[in-house]
Amino acid sequence: MPDVPENLLAGRRAIDGLLGVELLEDWEWFNEKSFWVLKCSLTIDSEHPYVPSKTIWFITVDPIYPEGNIEFYPSKIGGLATTFQHQNNNRDGFPDLPWRTGNICLHSQFHHIGQFCITDEPLDDPHMRIKWRFERALAWLMAAARDELVKSGDPFELPHIPLSPRLDKSVLFIEDPVSFESWSKIAVRMGFVEFVTLNQQPSVVFPTSFKSMAGETLFRPNWGNGITENGSRGFQGLWLLLERPPILPVWHIPNNWNELKTVLNDQGASITECIKPLKQQLKREPALFLIGFPIMDRIGDELSQIHWTAIELPTSATKDKTKRIKANYVGHYDKAYMKEDGEVPWLKTENCHYSRVSVRGKLHKEVVENEVLLIGLGAIGSLIAEQLARAGHSKIALMDQDIVAAGNIVRHTLGLESVTKKKSQAIHDKLLLISPHLDVDIIEEVFPPKNEKNIKAVKRYPIIIDCTADRELRYQLGAFPWDQNKLFITIALGFKAKRLYFFSVIDESFPVETFNNLIQPWLEKEKPEYIDDGFPREGIGCWHPIFPARVDDIWMLASAAIKQLEQTILSPLEAPQLIVFEQVVESGNFVGIQKLLNE
């Protein structure tokens, strides 16, 4: 065993004399896990049936202490035997380890955000950090003994689910208070569910229709057209909606089939009866079983949302004669494939409703709910499209019949897999993989459209964004019979992407002359720059100049354009306005972007 580092010895000395803590075994190096382990007992006053007064713990510490992880695991002998809130699922785990898997949450509230945040944990102090964790562990135990690990007003916490290491499927669903109201009106509590997967990622599964056992459609999740129209192979599974979470005391999700059968029986459901309708499917392939239950947003609130967990029911198709079962007798399946101590194959599930995923960052609601027609999907147009999609936009139509060339990839959002595809189709496919809530349409014409259907489609969009930098197209925008006011926005890059031009106006047609008058002084200002530097050419043969601009400059200015786009939609001005974002360079060093107004 290597010598115990001085920092760990200092940490251990700091807990000497700490009330309620007894050292049972000093630091030991676990070579298989590459960390140090300390064995201790923690003693509190407790009359709780699942919290003994004295419990034994193994504390694991990274060798880079005081940095790194510190975890508290209950001992298999004399430790906590069930799972509580703020604790990982507390099962036996690996047979060669003396501790269970249920490490308790002792982190600072902001631990998962990263190092650049305020925390009261003494992360750099080898004398105090372990002591701080021990004090937190004692406080955790006392709260568990008083059933006070969660209090009124705390965010609701789902029980920790141990995912099956053999399965890589994830089930994405969308639920919110509105869908909860829909479910509350449905008397049926069990039925079939239809799933689709994505061609690009078949391990990601989406439920698209919940049905009764008789085949009646009861509920359809409101996915975007990327899921409803472009999902690949469809297949069927089962759903079961419970009245409360399927847990054992205190907050323990079932680990084996016997535990699962117990919690379902307690709520009047039998898993054996549930799987009967799938017996023919299970002869050929596994089946997904969704188990849902209502949850609240915060402790003490009214129930407001359905959460779905998922299990993969194993197939009975096997060459192993010892596991073959009678096709018409579900009880044999139960005995062969759902043995009492057999591990429940839980899958990862995630609610990707917009209100959930957008908490990481989103545009204003009024912005994302506006439908947009985006013309031009070059470097700047593709970035505008992608940022709108990632920020939660709900409806985008694309117009660009150009073909993706290899040279485009240098500063485009697309990759080599898109070369030879139409830009509109390639961007369409990419956007649908970004957001399951987004509806993306393609208008298969060059502007202005000639087809009557496309003319009507173009006219329905209240916001028209031109990213082509095409003089002729602007004249076409001005001549097109829009029939009503539109918010017109033109986004274009200056030479070498030193500037970005953002023009906006509310009008019944695009005011070409006004735009030209506003932009012309800036073009005159840039003229000496491109005369001096010249334009590069791509390839050999007839000379065709290529617009020079680095990818970092384009992407930076595109982000500025999105911010201005949000501001323009929220506070539109009817009068024409040209805003210029200009890179500021001092003594050869980039220092930022300045915003210039030219009305």
Distance, in Å, from the CA atom of 414 to the CA atom of 430, rounded to the nearest integer, reads 8
599: confidence class by pLDDT, cuts 50, 70, 90: low
Higher pLDDT, 50 or 203: 50
- Give me the amino acid identity at 278: L
Element (H, E) at 173: strand 170-173
Q: Where are the domains of the chain?
A: 6-145, 170-358, 361-598
- Residues of the chain above pLDDT 90, percent: 70
Residue range 361-598 forms a domain whose CATH class is: alpha beta
* Contact (Cβ atoms closer than 8 angstroms) between residue 121 and residue 109: no
Segment 529-550, tens digit of pLDDT? 766 555 555 554 444 456 778 8
Mean pLDDT score, 28-41: 93
pTM confidence score? 0.84
Mean pLDDT score, 78-91: 96
The answer on pLDDT for 598 being more than 70 is no
- Give me the amino acid identity at 550: R
At residue 541, the pLDDT reads 46
With tokens 């990839």, the residue in question is 409
184: confidence class by pLDDT, cuts 50, 70, 90: very high
77: confidence class by pLDDT, cuts 50, 70, 90: very high
* Contact (Cβ atoms closer than 8 angstroms) between residue 461 and residue 429: no
Mean pLDDT score, 380-391: 94
Topology (CATH level 3) of domain 170-358 = Cytidine Deaminase; domain 2 (3.40.140)
Segment 116-146, tens digit of pLDDT? 445 688 989 999 999 999 999 999 999 999 9
* Contact (Cβ atoms closer than 8 angstroms) between residue 499 and residue 493: yes
Distance, in Å, from the CA atom of 444 to the CA atom of 454, rounded to the nearest integer, reads 8
* Contact (Cβ atoms closer than 8 angstroms) between residue 206 and residue 195: yes
At residue 319, the pLDDT reads 47
Segment 503-529, tens digit of pLDDT? 999 999 999 999 999 999 998 888 887
3-class state of residue 181 by DSSP:
helix
Instruction: State the average pLDDT for the chain.
Output: 89
Mean pLDDT score, 469-475: 93
At residue 329, the pLDDT reads 46
Topology (CATH level 3) of domain 6-145 = Ubiquitin Conjugating Enzyme (3.10.110)
Q: Do domains 6-145 and 170-358 have the same CATH topology?
A: no
Segment 565-587, tens digit of pLDDT? 999 999 988 889 999 999 999 99
The answer on pLDDT for 378 being more than 80 is yes
